[in-house]
Structure 1
Amino acid sequence: MWGKILGALFGMALLKIPGFFIGLLIGHWFDKSYGGIFARQGGFSAFSRDSAEAQGIFRYNTFAVMGHVAKSNGVVTQSHIQQATVFMEQLGLTATQKQEAQAAFRDGKQADFPLVEQLAEFKSVFRARSDLLLMFLEIQISTAYVDLDLSKAEQKILAQVASALGINQTQFEHMLNRYEAEARFAKSNHSGTAETGHRLTDAYNVLGLSSACSETQLKKAYKKLMAQHHPDKLMSQGLPPELMDVAKQKTQDIQAAYELIRKHRA
């Protein structure tokens, strides 16, 4: 559930329903892939058991690296700033902590920001929390994709982040590829501009399947996803009422992906 809420808020930084939806997508992906681990290891409540120093390290590195990723193309956009601001609100930072987070973001924008050294410190503190390391990387991925595109400069920095956190290249590339496919399908589904071949590949990824899946696997995955994203069910799990439209849009895109695949197979 944390993934869905955080993801939706990241998407909200775009100030558009497609962005809202894409954020929810990455949150759903986190819940599906790592949510169980995150919950078992204490979720964000575990921070109450950590020292103030550890909490400060988490905040500083999160926003500093966000700033570093945002500046990788030479210019920090308004969308990057909005995204960071929304995340501060979600974390419930005090006024002083927000100022510290803003300062960290500015530090990260500097050309001489010691990325590797900072991440080494971060990993030394949260080495036992693989869920937080993965979420940290996803936060940075969402920063890079805030404009729905990933530049070579952004990808290079994300690869450095993944390596510093001990996330292997294969896992990193899988995270990027799946996120990109889901974001691309969401964008094309709303705009109606995409080549059929690419949309079909992305549609399979939205359902978590390969093009070699059987009809039985296709129907099973579709029904499971539709059940998981029923607005009433999400509401009962704690999704804020203001995100219900996003949940409805999610089911519409799942249905669109399914129908595209069925049409192609007919």
Structure 2
Amino acid sequence: MGFWGKILGGVAGFALGGPAGALMGAALGHAADTGAAPGQQRIPVSTADIAALIGGRESLFAVSVVVLSAKLAKVDGVVRREEIDTFKRLFHVPPENLVEVGRLFDRARDSADDYEEFAGKLGEAFADNKAMLEDVLHALVQIARADGPVNKAEGAFLRGVHAQFGLDAAAWERARGAAPRAPGGVAEGDPYAVLGLSRDVGDDEVRAAWKRLMRENHPDSLASKGVPEEFIRRATDKVAQINAAWDRIKRERKL
């Protein structure tokens, strides 16, 4: 079963109630795929347990981004076609999985469960990969803007996700488009902004920031952590951006 294929288990589990139900549904689906009898499975008690049982964090990611996108679209009262189309475009849902993903989207949209539980579970599972969480937040910002300017309800939702993800203020500015993100912005933009630094920091701090960002965004590292292919492609672009910024700073400082 592929990345989005495990969504079907999440749809069934959502009827059990809340994020634990959705994730448990995915876990049970994976157990059935692998031939494991229900009685042989220990009941998951944490995000890490659930992720291990469903075959990696990619399944946790799949369920969580669908639910967060659906609840964001509904937070202002009306889900618009532009928001749905933006979600499908950003997360590249394959045609063969549209039905399953659509069912989970609809159930999440109509449920009374708190989105913060889902954001918290995703933030916990990917706490070692802040760059990927920032990309998810950026995608949610684009969904919120698909039908017009971000309103008060959407803004509060996005701030809540930002907090649950454990991201810093610089990540918020980049996610909402107030700081450079695209590789093309490096040539004429501020290389320190790319690294999330001010110009008055020391050489050691600049070097440490560059190394940290390279670790977080390296495509091989992301692939080993169950990050979807689309985010790996974005990471490749970001690595080029980070390296270009570092090269400019090295030349300026004669490092």
How high is the TM-score relative to the length of structure 1?
0.47
Structure richer in helix, relative to its length: 1
How high is the TM-score relative to the length of structure 2?
0.48
